[in-house]
A and B are shown apart, each in its own frame.
Chain A
Amino acid sequence: MNFSILLQHITYGIVTGSILLLATIGFSMVYTIKGFFNIAHAELLTAGAYLTFLFYRIMGWNFIYSAILAIILTIIIGLLIGKTLYEPMEKYGSLGLVFTSIGVAFAMNGVTEFIAGPIIKSYRMPPTKTISVAGIPLVGKREVLIVVIALLSSYFLHFLLTRTRIGKAFRAMASNTNLAMIRGINTTKITNFVWMYASAMAGLAGIMLAMITALTTDLGWRQILVILAASILGGLGSIYGAMVGCILLGIVMDVGVIIIPTAYRPTIAFAVIIIMLIIKPTGIFGGK
């Protein structure tokens, strides 16, 4: 009995972690290249989720097409914001960028709320059958799909980083931007790639989050500290670390509610931020 509850919580944790993974990859990539906490990153989750709602529920299109179009639009929004609002601010240093991103977060949240209104919405997807393992009901098919997509996209990113020119250039730029520029790497192109890839992943994460919960205008905002916690846990600036950090944090948060009251679930993430940054800011895998 107790074991089955634990197993259920671990499974939820993996699902939570998978969504978090998609949300955090972009955040971590932007931090790696631009060196600032993009607070507005979470608003892209909201944008993706609401755009899908627009196409799927209001226009009545097929869910897959709606999601793809929503992700494409999120990419455009993310790229535009990056190019027009963040890049001109770089000369003021990372603090200026953080403040700008706070302004962007508020502006985006305002626009979303203005258009969508404050009422909680839902995709109203048909319920799916729960998959049981050895008699223990674990997850629905939708949750499995989320985990599979998260795994595939992490593998895709791994492939991108290790096998393609743009991935190698990204890694070069991550370790030393100026040196990469001197060696003839087109850093503008890489930066554009990062804005686009980060936004795409954020949009995808937003859609998935809305699939298993509901659509509220603070959908993304509520995730930002958890995203921050996951990227810190895995080591800031490390993409692979962030991936592991996400799954780990997802499991810890969902298993943690067995011990602590459910209302305090997000507190686990906040505690992770505080403890890690004070004791070991390089993350659990980070060396010196």
Chain B
Amino acid sequence: MGGDILSFLAGTVALAAIYAIYTLGFNLQFGYTDLANMGYVAFFTIGAYVSVILNYSPPGPMDAYRFGFNLPIWVGVIVAAPGAALFAFLTGLPTLKIKAEYFIAVTFAFAEIVRMVVQNETWLTNGNFGFYGLSRPFKQFFSPYTYEFFFAFLMVGILIIAYLIMRRICNSPFGRVLKGIRENDMACQSLGKDVFRAKLKSYTIGAAFAGVAGSLYALYATTIVPEMFVPSVTFVAWWAVIMGGKGNNKGAILGAFIFIFVDQFTVFTQSSAAYATRLSSLRGFIMGVMLILILRFLPRGVLKEKKVIYDSKI
């Protein structure tokens, strides 16, 4: 039983690390640039599917899907980033100029279209059947039990790399421009900054993080089906950023960990199958209430954004 809890914990840490990478990208879009993206899950979906299609074995005569390239796992994980980013670039071009609240509606609609396509274009995504039995990296070197721990360490390692990259981006002059846009885009424009271009960059880079997270999620779950990419996955990113603290990368990671731990705790405490669905519906209730309370009483999140005063001489 003790070992059970430990391996469950390792799985939870791995999942939380993946969602933390996912949330980091969202924090760049929403926390730093104020792009209220309601369709963030679309990038996650695209990342997952791109990596799996690259990695999956070629279709046999009985299979409905047409593409499977049998490439190494790392190729999929790396290509997932530009794959998601390309979609962000193409959708960002027409949508980033419109009003903030319209942007919410448009991105929501885009994500639903992506989900519809994934569900129905069987030749590409194998439809509702999805892809299953996906291979996991370095599996052959470990026993199934120790592999869970290795996988958790691997995910946390990737999260640390992602965090360092994101910190570099946010502390760069480009990151300062993004903050400037968030605070006052008119003023930013008058200083000669290309606001639209910066927004597009932020949107695209954030999407790349979601794409990588999606490909890692496919490795974690070893199965992908369209139901895994419903709009409530966007809600995870929203929830984590608002909970952790808008515009604070550490807060985004903390928020994702809180979400996954609360979420997985309700899975682990399930006593019987009869209550499983009931408890899982309470999960939505708990998350919803927590979001409402945070917005109301702690609108800047658990970890507030640090106030930075830039030296005017540089």
Contacts and interface: CB of A to CB of B under 8 A. Distances in A.
Interface of A: 36-37, 85, 88-89, 92, 94-96, 98-100, 102-114, 117-118, 217, 225, 228-229, 232, 261, 263-264, 266-267, 269-271, 273-274, 277-278, 281
Closest 9 CB pairs of A and B: A110-B285, A107-B288, A106-B288, A113-B281, A110-B284, A103-B291, A270-B109, A103-B292, A273-B109
23 contacts: A94-B101, A98-B104, A99-B242, A100-B291, A103-B289, A104-B288, A107-B284, A107-B288, A107-B292, A110-B285, A113-B284, A225-B109, A228-B108, A228-B109, A232-B105, A263-B116, A266-B116, A267-B112, A271-B109, A271-B113, A273-B106, A274-B95, A278-B94
B37 to A, nearest CB: 12
Given A37-B105, A228-B105, A114 B288 contact: no
B236 to A, nearest CB: 11
B296 interface: yes
Name which of A88, A261, A281 has the most chain B CB atoms within 10 A of its CB. Answer: A281
B180 interface: no
Main secondary structure of the interface of B (DSSP, over half): helix
B232 A274 contact: no
A85 B99 CA distance: 25
Contacts of A111: 281, 285
B285 A114 contact: yes
B299 A92 contact: yes
A271 B112 CA distance: 10
A277 B102 contact: yes
A270 B107 CA distance: 10
B14 to A, nearest CB: 25
A95 B102 CA distance: 11
Given A103-B292, A107-B292, A274 B101 contact: no
Given A100-B295, A277-B98, 7 more contacts: A37-B104, A95-B101, A104-B288, A106-B232, A110-B287, A270-B109, A274-B109
Contacts of B232: 106
A229 B99 CA distance: 16
A278 B285 CA distance: 34
B217 to A, nearest CB: 21
B286 interface: yes
A88 B95 contact: no
Given A109-B284, A278-B98, A104 B292 contact: yes
Given A270-B112, A274-B110, A106 B235 contact: yes
Contacts of B110: 270, 274
Main secondary structure of the interface of A (DSSP, over half): helix
Interface string B85-101: 00000000011001111
A105 to B, nearest CB: 7
Interface residues of B, number: 40
Nearest to A103: B291
Nearest to A105: B288
A271 B106 CA distance: 9
A105 B288 CA distance: 7
Contacts, number: 130
B285 A106 contact: yes
B270 interface: no
Contacts of B277: 113, 117-118
A278 B95 CA distance: 7
Contact of A88 (B101, B104, B282, B296): B296
B285 A103 contact: no
B120 interface: yes
B238 A102 contact: yes
B238 A277 contact: no
A102 B235 contact: yes
B36 interface: yes
B35 to A, nearest CB: 11
Contacts of B289: 103, 107
B250 interface: no
Interface string B271-314: 00000011001111111111110011001000000000000000
A281 B105 CA distance: 11
Contacts of B285: 106-107, 109-111, 114
B135 interface: no
A7 B81 CA distance: 48
A110 B99 CA distance: 31
Contacts of A232: 105
B110 to A, nearest CB: 7
B120 A117 contact: no
Given A96-B299, A225-B109, A110 B98 contact: no
A96 B301 CA distance: 13
B83 to A, nearest CB: 21
Interface in B234-287: 235, 238, 242, 277-278, 281-287
Nearest to B234: A102
B7 interface: no
B189 to A, nearest CB: 21
Contacts of B120: 261, 263-264
B113 A267 contact: yes
Contacts of B281: 109-114, 118, 217
A225 B295 contact: no
B119 interface: yes
A89 B295 CA distance: 8
Contact of B295 (A103, A266, A271): A103
A103 B277 CA distance: 20
A100 to B, nearest CB: 5
